[in-house]
Amino acid sequence: MNCIFCKIINGDIPSKIVAESSNYIAIKDINPVSPVHILIIPKEHIEKPGELAKFDGKILQELFELVEEVARSENIFDSGYRLIVNSGKDAGQEVAHLHWHLLGGRKLGKLG
Ligand code: 5GP
Ligand code: ZN
């Protein structure tokens, strides 16, 4: 499959991995929009957020544990952060493999 994130997960494309759990990797975004810009990516190729519902609910528990772990290790746990999913073209989704953007390290503007 011609998916950049699947290639990163398989190790075919290099990336800066900041954390990993059974079902996710967390990497630095190649084109950061804030001092901290991490992508949290499920290892399974999923395209839409709702597809996560077919998995055991523990996969969401694991996601939020990883978010907290990375926010602490990147020193944005206390200063604050934003977690974003882009889905579809109006949201500007570039990579059709579900991922969360974890942004922080500066005052973030209003959404939209
Ligand atoms: P989207 O717009 O799909 O929500 O976000 C895709 C993100 O993936 C963008 O912020 C973009 O900078 C990032 N990205 C695209 N290709 C690569 C890559 O090869 N490596 C890394 N680390 N990030 C990438
Ligand atoms: Zn993929």
Sketch the domain layout of the chain as residue ranges.
34-96
Contacts 24+ apart (CB under 8 A), 22-30: 22/62, 23/59, 23/62, 24/62, 24/63, 24/66, 26/66, 26/70, 26/102, 29/101
Per residue in 50-92, pLDDT tens?
999 999 999 999 999 999 999 999 999 999 999 999 999 999 9
The number of the ligand nearest the C-alpha atom of 27 reads 1
Residue 112 pLDDT exceeds 90 = no
Mutational pocket test of ligand 1: of 2, 4, 101, the residue with most ligand atoms within 8 Å of the beta carbon: 4
- At residue 29, the pLDDT reads 98
| Catalytic residue status for 99 | yes
Catalytic choice (37, 45, 99, 101): 99
Per residue in 20-37, pLDDT tens?
999 999 999 999 999 999
* pTM recorded for the entire structure: 0.97
